[in-house]
Structure 1
Amino acid sequence: MKLLNVKLGAVLLMGVLVSCNSLFKKQEERKPLARVGESYLYPEDIAPLLTQGMTKGDSASFVSGYINNWASKQLLLSKSKINLPEEKIAQFEALVDDYRADLYTRAYKEALVSIGADTVINKNQLETFYELEKENFKLKERIVRIRFVSLPKNFLNKEEVSKRLKNFKEEDLTYLDSIGVQFNKLNFNDSIWVRSSRVMDEIPPITIDNRDRYLKKSQFFELEDSLGVYLGKIEEVMDINEIAPLSYITPTIKQVLLNRRKIDYLRKLETEIIDEAIKDKEFEVFTNDK
């Protein structure tokens, strides 16, 4: 834990020192655009908001408007601190402090996790989790394994493409690949499961009304619309409420496992931080003994 803190601390310290050196130089050179009380607005505060397409007149108008808006906010803030009840101000200040603390601690935790947490999920871990939790991975949409091509309407050798797409041996795939530049669309990777809604997006003649006819196992179809001709072969289908295959659900499982690992790692870090602080007498809890 201490070694991790030293590494991260060194990186953060270098960044702070560089920033501080730059800050001191900037403070010596920069001149404010406006002031409200003890608050100053500098050109570099506005520079990121100016786009290259702005004319000189547009830039001047934008800067003038921004300065007025900034001044209005600063003056209202100053007035609010004077006129709002003290308990309301204290409440807001507490919220601001909590938010600031949350931003810092969240960034620090993410930095620690990126350095120390294990992000490798192996095949055995995927399969074990899948077997334990498969009842939670029931499909909410039909999925299919499909290969298809979309041909221009005037394509001359449609019958040959249809035959090759049906057979789909190694020599057939070689042939189809060799003329693939003539197709409007193609998908030959029929080992990948895809959502039926995605298929309907890619092949518009397949709709909600007719999908049961065309999206079924071993079905070969030839469909046409104003854009072209669609030839396709469905290898396999899985319906709603069936348990999703591991290959389809793998990205989801990986994310679940990584999130769990991240939570466990952060809990361990928090425990170590508190234990270390107690040991170094940086943290103690006082009890009121009567």
Structure 2
Amino acid sequence: MKSPILRLDTMKFTYISLLILVSPILFLSCKGKFNFSKQKAENEKIVVQYGEHFLTDRDLKLILPKDYTKEDSVNWVKTYIEEWVKKKAIVDKAEENIDELTLKEIENKIVEYRQDLLINAYNNYLIEKNIKDSVTDEELFQYYEKHKDSFPLVKEVVQFRAITVDKSEENQAERLFNSSKDEDFDEVMKMVLQAGNAYHDKDSIWYSPEYIAAQFPELNQNDQLSQLISRRKVKISDENTVTLIKILNLKPKGSTAPYEFVKPTIKNLLLNKRKLNLLSELQNQLYKEAINKNEIKINEN
């Protein structure tokens, strides 16, 4: 399928015929050159024109979805142009009838909004360039140790293991899995891997019970998730396999959240703090530079 850019080039004549159908006011004649407030690049071509407003081929390329067919693209452009003309017509009518003070107020808001957009975009650029990965694990842990009381758990979290074995190996697998010896767990994992069955051995990570239930939907039946939390182990059987799940550690609701569980939250907190500091420092630096270069002029009259 061709890209929207190629489609626009091949649809040149389609656009022209389409625009004539859209509205008779699109191509109003005008003496001399049009005085556009919008700037057009040299490599752009004007496709739609209404009064002092215009759309270029580049504008239309930007609004076209990439996965649309040629026919869909024509319909999309037609609809977009109709709405564009209606909006521009309302804007022109508003400018004719709204008083100058209101227009000035709107212009000031536009300037402020543009400034906010530019500041936000530049801030994101600085973040990407300077502080995206600037928080070390040591800083994260130090923050946690200092503020751990600020991270109470709103729900219980657990560390767990889970394996699935063939039904014929159920007894041996259950004995090894429930053992506290590392070598027994290694032995049962060999059975699981040789059979190509599923398992979960990320036992150093903390999870919510809802996460476990999402991985093992059978736990949502017959209150098995509650049984797992209270008894610390549960067995799920079907015709051919048996899944064994065991809770290794549990942190109750209201207790201090484990470091690894809140580590992403702490990182976001520190990054946001650095974002604010970075922007504030940059603003102060630019202000001082402007003063030193005598670039600030204040008319007191």
- Aligned-partner SS, 1:221: strand
1:106 to 103, 120, 143: 120
Gap regions ≥5 residues in structure 1: 1-22
Moved more, 279-288 or 246-255: 279-288
Q: Is this contact kept in 2: 1:205–1:224, CA < 8 A?
A: no
Moved more, 47-56 or 249-258: 47-56
Moved more, 163-172 or 69-78: 163-172
Name the counterpart of 1:135: 149
Matches within 5 A, 1:191-210: 191-207=204-220, 209=223
Structure 1 position 137, deviation (Å): 0.2
Name the counterpart of 2:43: 26
Q: Tell me the distance in 2 between the aligned counterparts of 1:279 and 1:39.
A: 42
Q: Tell me the distance in 2 between the aligned counterparts of 1:175 and 1:103.
A: 57
1:244 to 236, 257, 272: 257
Name the counterpart of 1:276: 289
Name the counterpart of 1:14: none
1:213 to 221, 227, 241: 227
Moved more, 110-119 or 233-242: 110-119
Q: Is this contact kept in 2: 1:144–1:194, CA < 8 A?
A: yes
Structure 1 position 233, deviation (Å): 1.3
1:185 to 198, 202, 206: 198
Counterpart residue type for residue 104 of structure 1:
L
Q: Tell me the distance in 2 between the aligned counterparts of 1:227 and 1:281.
A: 82
Distance 1:225 1:141, change over 3 A: farther
Q: Is this contact kept in 2: 1:144–1:196, CA < 8 A?
A: yes
- How many residue pairs get aligned? The number is 259
- Aligned-partner SS, 2:199: strand
Matches within 5 A, 1:48-87: 48=62, 49-56=64-71, 58-87=72-101
Structure 1 position 235, deviation (Å): 0.6
1:156 to 165, 168, 178: 168
Q: Tell me the distance in 2 between the aligned counterparts of 1:25 and 1:174.
A: 71
- Aligned-partner SS, 2:207: strand
Q: Tell me the distance in 2 between the aligned counterparts of 1:234 and 1:40.
A: 65
Q: Tell me the distance in 1 between the aligned counterparts of 2:203 and 2:140.
A: 22
Q: Tell me the distance in 1 between the aligned counterparts of 2:238 and 2:156.
A: 24
Name the counterpart of 2:177: 165
Aligned-pair identity (%): 24
Q: Is this contact kept in 2: 1:34–1:42, CA < 8 A?
A: yes
Q: What is the TM-score of this pair, normalised by structure 1?
A: 0.77
Q: Is this contact kept in 2: 1:145–1:194, CA < 8 A?
A: yes
Q: Tell me the distance in 2 between the aligned counterparts of 1:88 and 1:181.
A: 76
Distance 1:248 1:227, change over 3 A: farther
Counterpart residue type for residue 90 of structure 1:
K
Q: Is this contact kept in 2: 1:109–1:266, CA < 8 A?
A: yes
Q: Tell me the distance in 2 between the aligned counterparts of 1:63 and 1:245.
A: 54
Structure 1 position 105, deviation (Å): 1.8
Q: Is this contact kept in 2: 1:274–1:283, CA < 8 A?
A: no
Q: Tell me the distance in 1 between the aligned counterparts of 2:299 and 2:194.
A: 76
- Aligned-partner SS, 1:157: helix
Q: Tell me the distance in 2 between the aligned counterparts of 1:55 and 1:118.
A: 41
- For the pair 1:260 / 2:277, whether they are aligned, the reply is no
Moved more, 226-235 or 183-192: 226-235
- Aligned-partner SS, 1:34: strand
Q: Tell me the distance in 2 between the aligned counterparts of 1:230 and 1:175.
A: 12
Name the counterpart of 1:47: 61
Q: Tell me the distance in 2 between the aligned counterparts of 1:227 and 1:61.
A: 55
Distance 1:227 1:74, change over 3 A: farther
Gap regions ≥5 residues in structure 2: 1-39
Structure 1 position 78, deviation (Å): 0.9
Name the counterpart of 1:121: 135
Structure 1 position 238, deviation (Å): 0.6
Q: Tell me the distance in 2 between the aligned counterparts of 1:226 and 1:99.
A: 64
Deviations 1:97-129 (A, max 9, x none): 111111112222332333344843334322321
Q: Which has the higher contact order (CA 8 A, sep 6+)?
A: 1
Measured on the aligned residues, the alpha-carbon RMSD in Å equals: 3.0
Distance 1:34 1:123, change over 3 A: closer
